[in-house]
Amino acid sequence: GIEPGQVEVSIEGELLTLQGKADEAEKRPRFGRQLKLPFAVDVDAVKAAYANGILTLTLPKAAAAQRRLIAVHAA
């Protein structure tokens, strides 16, 4: 299997990149995947957890990408 230290997650703009490599004893090649995110991400708040072979990413929207309701006042 893959260990957490063998997986690299990076975000540049709206592009999420996953890369990794299995143990040499397992003779598996490097793997990788790139995904275009539908929104900008707050990279300082991103969290990644790996348990039982499952990688879970928490990707909060960047403040500029969040919808905000603007109150309209009579002039």
- Ordered structural domains, the chain, with CATH: 4-65 (2.60.40.790)
Digit-coded pLDDT (tens) for 7-51? 999 999 889 999 987 766 666 678 899 999 998 899 999 999 998
| Integer Cα distance of 4 and 25 in angstroms | 17
Q: Using CA atoms, how far apart are residues 2 and 22, in angstroms rounded to an integer?
A: 6
pLDDT (0 to 100) of residue 26: 66
The residue-averaged pLDDT of 49-66 equals: 88
> Helix, strand, or coil here: 69?
coil
